Amino acid sequence: MVNRLRDLCPDDEVMVTETPGQARRWAAERAGDADLAVIAVGGDGTVHEVGNGLVGGQAMLGVLPLGSGNDFAKMLTSPRDPERAVAWFREEECRLCDVGEVTLTHADGSCERHRFINGLGIGLEAAVADSARNARYLKGFARYMAAALWHLATYKPPHMQIRWGDVDCSGRQFLVAVGNGCCAGGRFRLTPDARIDDGLLDVCRVDSLSRWRLLRILPSVLSGRHTRFDEVRMSQVSSIDIGCPDGCMVHADGEVLTGDAVGIRVRVLPGVLPILG
60-65 and 37-42 beta bridge pairing: parallel
Same domain, 90 and 109: no
Same domain, 9 and 130: no
Going by the DSSP 8-state scheme, the letter that residue 212 receives in this structure is: H
Mean pLDDT to the nearest integer, 211-228: 88
pLDDT tens digits, one per residue of 70-92: 899 999 988 889 899 999 999 99
Could you give the number of structural domains in the chain?
A: 2
* Residue 162, in any domain of the structure: yes
pLDDT at 73: 93
Concatenated DSSP letters for 15-73? Answer: ----STTHHHHHHHHHTT-TT-EEEEEESHHHHHHHHHHHTTSSSEEEEEE-SS--TGG
Q: How far apart are CA 193 and CA 177, in angstroms?
A: 13
* Residue 124, in any domain of the structure: yes
**Boundary-marking domain end, from 76, 98, 120:** 98
pLDDT at 151: 67
Other beta carbons within 10 Å of 2 = 10
- Using CA atoms, how far residue 173 sits from 69, 108, 170, 204, in Å, is 25, 23, 9, 11
* Residue 186, in any domain of the structure: yes
232-237 and 37-42 beta bridge pairing: unpaired
**C-alpha of 262 from chain center:** 21
Contacting residues for 35 by C-beta, under 8 A, at least 6 apart:
none
In contact, 256 and 129? CB cutoff 8 Å: yes
Question: Is residue 265 over pLDDT 70?
Answer: yes
Angle between helices 140-154 and 211-221 (to 10 degrees): 160
In contact, 155 and 147? CB cutoff 8 Å: no
Question: Is residue 136 over pLDDT 70?
Answer: no
Q: Give 140: exposed, middle or buried? Use CB within 10 Å, 0-12, 13-18, 19+.
A: middle
Question: Is residue 211 over pLDDT 80?
Answer: no
pLDDT tens digits, one per residue of 140-179: 677 677 777 776 777 788 899 999 999 999 999 988 999 9
Structure-model confidence comparison of residues 248 and 135, the more confident one:
248
Same domain, 140 and 245: yes
Question: Is residue 61 over pLDDT 90?
Answer: yes
- CATH at 41: 3.40.50.10330
pLDDT tens digits, one per residue of 172-210: 998 899 999 999 887 889 999 999 999 999 999 988 778
In contact, 118 and 40? CB cutoff 8 Å: no
pLDDT at 138: 66
Other beta carbons within 10 Å of 113 = 9
| Domain boundaries, position 45 | 2-98
Q: How far apart are CA 275 and CA 277, in angstroms?
A: 6
- Using CA atoms, how far residue 136 sits from 132, 133, 143, in Å, is 9, 8, 9
What value does the mean pLDDT of the chain take?
90
**Boundary-marking domain end, from 54, 70, 98:** 98
pLDDT at 250: 94
Same domain, 11 and 77: yes
- Using CA atoms, how far residue 95 sits from 76, 147, 228, in Å, is 11, 35, 32
pLDDT at 139: 66
pLDDT band at 223 (very low <50, low <70, confident <90, very high): very high
